[in-house]
């Protein structure tokens, strides 16, 4: 089955749902390894830096956001790692997924920002269209 | 985060840097002109500054991929100097700003930056955004109906067009299209040329025409000091943002010195003081700029465009420029602050508001930062100056242990002394300092006073649990052990 699984996370409810499906998927295939990819866009980066006292504190804040999701995997004994990348979510996920050749990419169908989705089109749509490996879209 | 090698900083991303630098140059032109207008100087002053600063920072800066040029924060701080003493004093102040920044750099200013609370940083960017917006009001409101139309159309273009088309910056498209409409239809709108001239020449070296005496120094020093602080604050904040965006490290103290060098040279070439730009650096990184080559490209392309298109640049209608600056101010504002105001501790929220109000009131960002830092220092002192004394529940009437908790220093000694004055003490008193720290001579004085008063009443007092630094301070300063010492009279 799927050995190398990429899950796009952003701390939203949808991405948590995507993660729990990835748990389901990974527990069905022994030896699976999960990468949790968190993409920080540039405007978010600006706000984060202004709102934090130091880069160390910022680092901890971001990890804390993803830790509950990582624990879903740890609880089931599935090895997982967190990956933080900067840039526009859609293109960055596509680039990373294609470069690393994952067996499957799991992504929630709606991220944090409804307005953005309306005008820009959804990140999941871009990912589904451009990633070479199979994409599991979680509604 | 590692700082990249020299070769990586210059030639690690040639294609991306040149493309992004060109995009930045296009976005810089309207801002450089608008900031010159805010400062009350000819557009050339801001354009020359943007050219020299961008180019020099490419070599001297500590944060590759960051864009520095003439900025709004700096322009606002020089308005008064220009108005009262003229442009030559601005050039002199710009040189002095650079000198001060180099000194700050050698004093390791990056470390001092850690003392600036986040509420003050938020206040800084928000106040900056508000001031940039306020500077546009006179060009937008109450001019003419046609002005409103052009402002509206410009805003529509800059906010909606990028959704469909991203290759060319939308503000540039707005400028070109709307200027063309104004020129061909011969519409009656104020343009950049009405507010100053743009010359097709390279900046030249000259020494500012000011008398070299103490009086000149008195005139320019306050402005230069404010400029040096504002410039470094925005530059180092921007550097941290670029660090985070690109996941690479930077040398903040070198950046501070680089900003200084850039301002000194700029002052000698007829430019106004500048610093790093949060917005432009963001545009650069987003467009793929990473290395020093991007800043160099931005400066060089900017001056080439000015040399070639100066007559057309003068035709840019003011409503279009003002609308673009409204977009810049909306982009500068930290919208997350509203959420912060609700969630943050009340004291932090007050610090943020006081910073913003002070800046908007004085039009000087450095005063706002000063007020904000001072206020948060007071709040911090108030917060940690709570000292509690707790009586251990020993049932004995002859002895008891009193536990002191907190930081004992000038602001907190009163809680400590009043406790021992108001409460009846047994014959044997042990004061336990395990959970306390004695910081200064006020604290030692307070301990002295309490002990002497108790000893006068015939109580036996023992001090325990003092940590090493507290004990040292007490041994050095306290007088209570000396035989026959009298209690002070107060």
Tens of pLDDT, residue by residue over B163-194, are: 888 778 888 899 999 999 999 998 888 888 88
**Range in B9-18, B302-311, B363-372, B481-490 with the lowest mean pLDDT:** B481-490
In this model, does residue B375 exceed pLDDT 90? yes
Number of H helices, E strands in chain B: 21, 6
Q: What number is the average pLDDT over the span B121-130?
A: 94
Q: Which helix (H) or strand (E) holds B403?
A: strand B399-408
> What pLDDT does residue A66 have?
85
> What pLDDT does residue B34 have?
93
Inter-chain contact B114–A48, Cβ cutoff 8 Å?
no
Q: Quick one: tokens of B409?
A: 């220093």
Decide: helix, strand or coil at residue B69: strand
Q: What number is the average pLDDT over the span B422-426?
A: 83
Q: Which residues contact B248 (CB under 8 A, 6 or more apart)?
A: B1, B2, B3, B4, B64
> What pLDDT does residue A112 have?
52
Residues of B in contact with A50 (CB under 8 A): 118, 121-122, 125, 237, 241, 334, 336
> What pLDDT does residue A68 have?
86
> What pLDDT does residue B67 have?
96
Inter-chain contact B114–A53, Cβ cutoff 8 Å?
yes
> What pLDDT does residue A120 have?
52
Q: B392: burial class by Cβ within 10 Å (0-12, 13-18, 19+)?
A: exposed
Residues of B in contact with A60 (CB under 8 A): none
Inter-chain contact B241–A46, Cβ cutoff 8 Å?
yes
Inter-chain contact B334–A50, Cβ cutoff 8 Å?
yes
In this model, does residue B432 exceed pLDDT 50? yes
> What pLDDT does residue B100 have?
97
> What pLDDT does residue A115 have?
61
- H-type helices in B288-334, by residue range? 292-313, 318-332
Q: Band the pLDDT of A117: cuts 50, 70, 90.
A: low
Distance separating the N- and C-terminal Cα atoms of chain A: 22
Q: Which residues contact B183 (CB under 8 A, 6 or more apart)?
A: B315
In this model, does residue B448 exceed pLDDT 90? no
In this model, does residue B445 exceed pLDDT 90? no
Tell me the pLDDT of chain B averaged across its residues: 89
Residues of B in contact with A45 (CB under 8 A): 241, 244-245
Strand B275-276 relative to strand B68-69, pairing: antiparallel
Q: Are B81 and B208 in contact (CB under 8 A)?
A: no
Q: What number is the average pLDDT over the span B251-263?
A: 95
Inter-chain contact A48–B240, Cβ cutoff 8 Å?
no
> What pLDDT does residue B484 have?
46
State the angle between helix axes of B214-246 and A42-51 in degrees (0 to 180), rounded to the nearest 10: 120
Q: Are A49 and B244 in contact (CB under 8 A)?
A: yes
Decide: helix, strand or coil at residue A35: strand
> What pLDDT does residue B490 have?
44
Name the nearest CA neighbour of B32 among B64, B67, B61, B84: B67
Q: What number is the average pLDDT over the span A37-53?
A: 84
Chain A: closest CA distance from residue B417 (Å): 36
Q: Which residues of A touch B (CB under 8 A)?
A: 42-43, 45-55, 58, 86, 88, 119-120
Residues of B in contact with A38 (CB under 8 A): none
In this model, does residue A139 exceed pLDDT 90? no
Q: Please write the tens of the pLDDT for every residue from B35-47.
A: 999 999 999 999 9
The radius of gyration of chain B's CA atoms, rounded to the nearest angstrom, is 29
Query: Which of A43, A58, A119 has the CB atom closest to B244's CB atom?
Result: A58
Does the model's ipTM exceed the 0.85 cut? no
CA A24, CA A5: separation in Å to the nearest integer? Answer: 12
> What pLDDT does residue B80 have?
93
**Range in A59-68, B108-117, B458-467, B481-490 with the lowest mean pLDDT:** B481-490
Q: Band the pLDDT of A111: cuts 50, 70, 90.
A: low
């Amino acid at each position: 089955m799927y050995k190398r699984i990429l899950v796009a996370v952003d701390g939203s409810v949808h991405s948590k749902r995507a993660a729990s499906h990835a748990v389901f998927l990974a527990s069905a295939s022994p030896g699976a390894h999960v990468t949790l990819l968190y993409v920080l866009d540039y405007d978010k980066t600006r706000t984060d830096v202004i709102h934090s006292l130091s880069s160390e504190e910022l680092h901890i804040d971001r990890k804390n956001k993803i830790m509950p999701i990582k624990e879903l995997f740890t609880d089931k004994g599935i090895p997982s790692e967190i990956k933080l990348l900067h840039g526009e979510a859609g293109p960055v996920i596509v680039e990373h997924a294609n470069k690393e050749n994952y067996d499957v990419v799991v992504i929630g169908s709606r991220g944090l920002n409804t307005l953005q989705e309306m005008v820009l089109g959804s990140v999941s749509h871009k990912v589904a269209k451009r990633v070479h490996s199979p994409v599991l879209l979680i509604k | 985060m590692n700082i990249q090698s020299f070769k990586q900083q210059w030639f690690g991303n040639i294609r991306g840097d040149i493309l992004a630098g060109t995009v930045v140059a296009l976005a810089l032109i309207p801002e450089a002109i608008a900031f010159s207008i805010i400062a009350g100087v000819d557009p050339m002053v801001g354009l020359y500054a943007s050219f020299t600063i961008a180019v020099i920072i490419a070599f001297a800066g500590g944060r590759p991929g960051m864009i520095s040029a003439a900025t709004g924060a700096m322009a606002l701080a020089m308005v008064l100097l220009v108005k009262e003493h003229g442009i030559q004093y601005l050039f002199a102040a710009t040189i002095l700003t650079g000198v001060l920044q180099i000194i700050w750099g050698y004093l390791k200013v990056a470390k001092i930056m850690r003392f600036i609370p986040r509420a003050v940083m938020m206040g800084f960017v928000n106040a900056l955004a508000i001031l940039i917006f306020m500077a546009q009001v006179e060009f937008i409101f109450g001019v003419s109906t046609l002005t409103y139309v052009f402002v509206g159309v410009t805003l529509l273009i800059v906010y909606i067009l990028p959704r469909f088309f991203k290759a060319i910056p939308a503000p540039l498209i707005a400028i070109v299209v709307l200027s063309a409409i104004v020129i061909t239809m011969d519409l009656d709108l104020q343009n950049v040329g009405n507010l100053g001239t743009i010359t097709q020449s390279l900046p030249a070296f000259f020494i500012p025409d000011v008398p070299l005496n103490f009086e000149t120094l008195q005139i320019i020093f306050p402005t230069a000091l404010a400029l040096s602080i504002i410039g470094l604050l925005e530059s180092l904040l921007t550097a941290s943002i670029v660090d985070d965006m690109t996941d690479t490290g930077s040398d903040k103290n070198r950046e501070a010195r680089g900003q200084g060098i850039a301002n000194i040279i700029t002052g000698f070439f007829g430019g106004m003081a500048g610093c790093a730009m949060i917005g432009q650096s963001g545009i650069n990184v987003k467009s793929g700029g990473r290395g020093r080559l991007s800043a160099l490209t931005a400066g060089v392309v900017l001056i080439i465009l000015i040399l070639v298109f100066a007559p057309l640049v003068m035709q840019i209608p003011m409503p279009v420029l003002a609308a673009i600056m409204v977009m810049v101010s909306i982009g500068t504002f930290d919208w997350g602050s509203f959420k912060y105001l609700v969630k943050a501790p009340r004291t932090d929220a007050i610090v943020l508001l006081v910073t913003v109000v002070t800046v908007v009131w004085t039009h000087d960002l450095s005063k706002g930062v000063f007020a904000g830092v001072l206020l948060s220092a007071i709040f911090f002192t108030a917060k940690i100056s709570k000292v509690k004394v707790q009586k251990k529940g020993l049932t004995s009437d002859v002895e008891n242990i009193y536990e002191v908790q907190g930081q004992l220093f000038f602001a907190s000694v009163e809680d400590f002394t009043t406790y021992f004055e108001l409460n009846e003490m047994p014959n044997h008193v042990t004061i336990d300092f395990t959970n306390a720290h004695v910081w200064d001579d006020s604290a030692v004085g307070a301990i002295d006073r309490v002990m002497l008063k108790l000893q006068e009443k015939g109580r036996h007092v023992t001090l325990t649990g003092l940590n090493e630094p507290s004990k040292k301070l007490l041994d050095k300063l306290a007088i209570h052990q000396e035989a026959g010492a009298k209690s002070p009279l107060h």
